[in-house]
Amino acid sequence: MAAVLGIAILVGAIAGLATGGRFAQLGSAHLRAIPLLVIGAVVQVLVLGRVITASTPIVVLLLVATYAALAGFAIANLGRGGMGVILAGIALNAVPIAVNSGMPVEAGAIVRARIASPDELPLLTFGTKRHLAGSGDHLRILDDRFPDWMTHHVLSFGDLVIGVGVGAVTSGLLHPATGRRRRRRRHPGGPEPDAGGPDPVEAAAAPGP
């Protein structure tokens, strides 16, 4: 997922610059609920890095809680383009993890991603977040099934959706806020016209006394 996010940020930055954005706009970008993002990301890293070791039900509960924190961050910033896409991707990942006590990983995708050969599949260790997909798993259309040949990982549909959303958010952060743009177009530098006064063109065209 780290590779997907890195590529999404890079593509989003290129798209933002190509459409007139500037890195200077990042200083004026205001994101809400940053602590939720930090907590969700840090706990995910600790679980994936096996720093947090516990029974499967506790780990799954922690993972669902991290997705809830990340979803809260996305909801708090829904005014930004792309955040709705990120929220959808978070839900697409959280649901199969909650239903299956972890994210199922398709065996065929593991082989196509050149992580292991078919004979090596029984020897793989997946940690507490993932497990080899089996007949007892549900919603397998949402599991890890897309092979990434470059980084030798298997991604889910939710991962790809989150990547698209992150790219869109990155591009948007390089542009000024929509409200500020509208105010600048309405008042390009002069004073605000008096709504109750006469129209300047009509006044100029009116005959003298």
pLDDT 10s digits, 79-103 = 999 999 999 999 999 999 999 999 9
Helix 83-100 to helix 56-76 angle (10° resolution) is 160
Range list of H helices, the chain: 2-18, 34-48, 56-76, 83-100, 107-112, 157-173, 178-186, 200-205
> pTM for the whole thing?
0.81
Q: What is the pLDDT of residue 127?
A: 81
Q: Largest Cα–Cα distance in the chain?
A: 100
pLDDT band at 2 (very low <50, low <70, confident <90, very high): confident
Q: Which residues contact 86 (CB under 8 A, 6 or more apart)?
A: 74, 161, 162, 165, 166, 169
CB 74 within 8 A of CB 68: no
Residue 130 is classified by DSSP as: E
Candidates 134, 118, 135, 126; CA nearest to 154 is 126
- Structural domain boundaries of the chain? 2-17+32-174
Candidates 110, 131, 134; CA nearest to 120 is 110
